[in-house]
């Protein structure tokens, strides 16, 4: 497989990347400062740290993160001009970038945070090079390495101080989350027997959109139109799949189809949901207790509290525990539209997992779930795709809820194909939207037209898709007309 090259800017530092998939190698190249320049940078970092004061309240305020960075940048530019006069703008920008990385960034790891193709960064010990998880090529070994266990420990301690946490010999495990959404886990030797570790799970700066999923074959416009229709008319959905199949990405993709006049509350352990600014959205995340065991906020507490926030839609990162599942399904049963993920490989496994111990959702509550969408990862090619869409059929006195498969991946045809016509889905549209079967089919055909036009016109960002959806819910005919005339990009303002 041929190597892939690309470049990006990291706070003014030019970065060149070469990925060699056959060698599982991610090679990063940045300007290398000389020994005298490194000594100067160390001195300037100390000056920056002492002269720029950060109030503790700013550390936990998401709106302050960029302001803090701007203050450090302004001061760094001033110091570089003072100590190294006569530099050209490019050289000055690079030195300022290195100062930013060393003061308000994560040092060596900051470069990886700026690469939108990376999802995870892993430091296993000073004996190994840093690893990264690339959204196209999976796990890759980099050409970056920490020189000592002390350097890794200092980096972990710095991360902890930024978020008000500590990692010590007595507390050798740290789980922290930045206001940017990035999540960091660190462990110290001998808990991690090979050496100190740092694992950064990046919050997606460029999350997937339905346009990209249709374009790369993850799902079809026909299946997407069914799920869009289900979201629009307030049906409850669970997105399932195994590890790293993309179930949370699929949830995020279709949450963008929620009407902008509905209040959305999302609840997660790790911030992964990223919705358009057109939505009325309140994101909530859990919090680990401090070293004294105080200040923790659990998923259960957030779910219970969310019901007091008058939400129209509730998004829950993953169903794990019986108590959380019961609150979630009770919310469905009382009329809230709920979306979540569950770890299961097929729609039938989803029902079994939810209905059996330890979760054990009562059948009367389980029937509140309308649709299950299952993601699959081909372990040979590392491709992800929508594997199955099934509707949940109410049970009888003798048996529990059943399934009717609407779409399923065909290995022989290598395509997601319709399996059978909708039953409950059709009845729900008739009851709650006043649509007969012919009207529902026409509505889906118009949605397919819009989806294909979005792909053709290259409307790929979350905000652009959100603007199309906002326009659609305000004036569907105008959007359908623009799709026919290939003028959707005007509405997307992309």
Domains in the chain, CATH or no CATH each? 4-201 (3.30.450.380), 210-492 (3.40.50.300)
Residue with tokens 């997937």: 208
Cα 18–24–29 angle (5° rounding)?
25
Read off the pLDDT of each residue in 222-226 and give the average, rounded to a whole number: 97
Q: What is the pLDDT of residues 6-45, one digit of tens each?
A: 999 998 999 999 999 999 999 999 998 888 888 888 888 8
Contact 459, 211 (CB under 8 A): yes
The beta-strand segments (E) located in 56-194 are 118-123, 131-134, 138-142, 173-177, 183-187
Backbone CA torsion sign across 369, 374, 375, 376: positive
Q: Are strands 383-393 and 371-378 parallel, antiparallel or unpaired?
A: antiparallel
What pTM, to 2 d.p., does this model score?
Answer: 0.83
Q: Tell me, what's the pLDDT at 352? A: 94
Q: How many CA atoms lie within 13 A of 289 on its CB side?
A: 6
pLDDT in tens, 246-289: 999 999 999 999 999 999 999 988 788 999 999 999 999 888 78
- Residue 67 above 70 pLDDT? yes
**What pLDDT band is residue 493 in, cutting at 50, 70 and 90?**
confident
- As a whole-number percent, the residues of the chain with pLDDT over 70 amount to 97
Residue with tokens 């779409």: 407
Alpha helices (runs of H) in 206-298, residue ranges in sequence order: 210-215, 221-232, 247-255
Other CB atoms within a 10 A radius of the CB of residue 138 amount to 13
Tens-place pLDDT, residues 401-444: 999 999 999 988 889 999 989 999 999 999 999 999 999 999 99
Which residue bears the tokens 């019901």?
Answer: 307
| Res 164: pLDDT | 74
At residue 125's C-alpha, the angle toward residues 124 and 131, to 5°, is 40
Strand duo 402-410 + 383-393: pairing: antiparallel
Q: Chain centroid to CA 34: how far? A: 38
Mean pLDDT computed over every residue of the chain? 90
């Amino acid at each position: 497989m041929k190597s892939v090259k690309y470049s990006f800017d990291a706070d003014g530092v030019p970065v060149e990347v070469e990925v060699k998939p056959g060698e599982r190698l991610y090679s990063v190249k940045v300007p290398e400062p000389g020994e005298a320049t490194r000594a100067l940078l160390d001195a300037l970092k100390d000056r920056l740290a002492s002269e720029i004061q950060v109030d503790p309240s700013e550390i936990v305020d998401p709106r302050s993160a960029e302001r803090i960075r701007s203050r450090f940048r302004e001061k760094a530019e001033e110091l570089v001009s003072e100590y190294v006069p006569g530099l050209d703008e490019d050289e000055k920008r690079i030195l300022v970038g290195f100062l930013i990385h060393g003061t308000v960034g994560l040092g060596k790891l900051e470069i990886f945070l700026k690469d939108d193709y990376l999802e995870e960064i892993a430091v296993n010990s000073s004996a190994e090079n840093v690893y990264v998880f690339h959204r196209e090529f999976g796990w890759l070994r980099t050409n970056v390495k920490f020189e000592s266990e002390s350097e890794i420990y200092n980096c972990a301690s710095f991360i902890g101080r930024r978020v008000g946490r500590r990692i010590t010999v007595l507390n050798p495990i740290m789980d922290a989350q930045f206001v940017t959404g990035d999540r960091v886990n660190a462990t110290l030797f001998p808990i991690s027997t090979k050496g100190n570790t740092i694992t950064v799970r990046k919050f997606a700066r460029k999350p997937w959109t339905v346009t990209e999923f249709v374009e790369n074959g993850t799902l079809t416009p026909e299946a997407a139109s069914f799920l869009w229709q289900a979201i629009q008319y307030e049906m409850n959905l669970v997105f399932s799949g195994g590890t790293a199949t993309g179930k949370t990405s699929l949830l995020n993709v279709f949450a963008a189809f929620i009407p902008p006049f509905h209040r959305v509350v999302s609840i997660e352990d790790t911030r992964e949901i990223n919705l358009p600014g057109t939505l009325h959205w309140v994101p909530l995340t859990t919090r680990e207790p401090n070293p004294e065991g105080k200040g923790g906020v659990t998923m259960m507490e957030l779910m219970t509290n969310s019901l007091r926030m008058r939400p129209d839609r509730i998004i829950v990162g993953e169903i794990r525990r019986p108590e959380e599942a019961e609150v979630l399904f009770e919310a469905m049963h009382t009329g809230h539209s709920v979306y979540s993920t569950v770890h299961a490989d097929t729609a039938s496994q989803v029902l079994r997992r939810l209905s059996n111990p330890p979760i054990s959702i009562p059948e009367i509550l389980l029937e509140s779930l309308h649709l299950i969408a299952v993601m699959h990862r081909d372990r040979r090619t590392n491709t992800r795709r929508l594997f199955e869409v099934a509707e949940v059929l109410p049970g009888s006195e003798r048996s529990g809820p059943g399934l009717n498969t609407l779409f399923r991946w065909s290995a022989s045809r290598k395509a997601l194909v319709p399996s059978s016509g909708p039953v409950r889905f059709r009845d729900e549209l008739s009851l709650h939207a006043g649509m007969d079967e012919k009207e529902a089919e026409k509505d889906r055909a118009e949605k397919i037209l819009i989806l294909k036009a979005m792909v053709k016109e290259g409307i790929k960002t979350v905000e652009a898709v959100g603007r199309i959806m906002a326009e659609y819910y305000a004036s569907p005919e105008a959007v359908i007309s623009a799709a026919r005339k290939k003028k959707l990009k005007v509405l997307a303002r992309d």
